[in-house]
A = this chain, B = another copy of it.
């Protein structure tokens, strides 16, 4: 699915951003006074909540997902336990306690809970009250991330975990980080679905005027939206010039694929002009994937997991570290911008966000999210 061909993205199914039908107001709409009562995320989905290496057997990990507090740890068989981070007895966060085998012990009075949320020990009591339970969440591990399903457990199917396979594919190499940001996760989705902003937000790093000046095409299906921007025979920006290691004009591609509810894979790279990259042979160029999954913590905060992987110069840890740190700086430039945007939205809840042609991809992604949410709402 990630091998969306360049040709296909220019093909008959593509809708040009310029000619896209006006989307209904509700899609982006007014972030109006009713916003606080409006759901901002779907629940019957997998969300990344941690890197695999963050969940261990020595210390519990506290995370917030969709306005719910979770505590996570790893069981002896390698499985992930994810339960509500609040003791049944006096509400203390269980994450303040400690692990004892496959169970977590409350720091206050020593109540113990297993990964199924059952209280297995109460102080001064030979048997634990069977009603003493906390909520438990389906959890799974894939592509170096831990995923949690905050909705109906009966519907949690690991097959629907978003595709980030490049993150542990031996043909690819790289690493990433996590950003905790004070904004609605969808502001990062808007941001990633239109890389026009590179020219302005990242003016001193990866941006140049070629991006903003090149039109995009947008395609979509029920669960994904893809934006393609092809820059033929252009000057390479400093980052790609260094990666390529050659002078001369390049063909440059940015293929941005959104997978509901909040995963975006950027297929980005350059090749010397005329070496065939735009007709399918990228072997003379350099190719990367920027893997992004942005998880709502609360209505106005999120965790943004990203990884930058490449298919060239594998096993070069020095390059991996250098690229990861360089990308971390670039992403902080985005964080500053979207957090400022969130602050203004909070101050002016009745001001609409406006949609330009460049926003076709983000608008489509938001419509897919809105439809997921609508399907979960009880009919009125």
Contacts and interface: CB of A to CB of B under 8 A. Distances in A.
A13 to B, nearest CB: 21
Contacts of A122: 356
A77 to B, nearest CB: 27
B92 A356 contact: no
A337 B96 contact: yes
A215 B358 CA distance: 69
A347 B86 CA distance: 11
Contact of A341 (B88, B108, B215, B354): B108
A348 to B, nearest CB: 7
A107 interface: yes
A316 interface: no
A356 B336 CA distance: 48
B86 A348 contact: yes
B92 A123 contact: no
Contacts of A336: 96
A347 B64 CA distance: 13
A91 interface: yes
Interface in A99-153: 105-110, 122-125, 132
Interface string A209-234: 00011111000000000000000000
Contacts of A201: 107-108
A193 to B, nearest CB: 12
Contacts of A216: 124
Given A90-B354, A92-B340, A337-B96, A109 B197 contact: yes
Contacts of A199: 110, 123
A357 interface: yes
Nearest to A96: B340
Contact of A88 (B110, B337, B354): B354
Interface string A340-373: 1100110110010110111000000000000000
A108 B200 contact: yes
Given A110-B196, A356-B89, A213 B351 contact: no
A93 interface: yes
A93 B212 CA distance: 20
A341 B353 CA distance: 39
Interface string A307-343: 0000000000000000000000000000011001100
22 contacts: A89-B353, A89-B354, A89-B356, A90-B353, A90-B354, A91-B341, A91-B348, A91-B351, A91-B353, A92-B337, A92-B341, A93-B340, A96-B336, A105-B200, A108-B341, A109-B196, A109-B356, A109-B358, A123-B196, A123-B356, A124-B214, A125-B356
Given A90-B353, A109-B200, 8 more contacts: A89-B353, A91-B353, A96-B336, A108-B200, A108-B337, A124-B212, A124-B215, A125-B357
Query: What are the 5 closest A-B residue pairs judged by CB atoms, nearest first?
Result: A91-B344, A110-B200, A123-B212, A89-B354, A123-B196
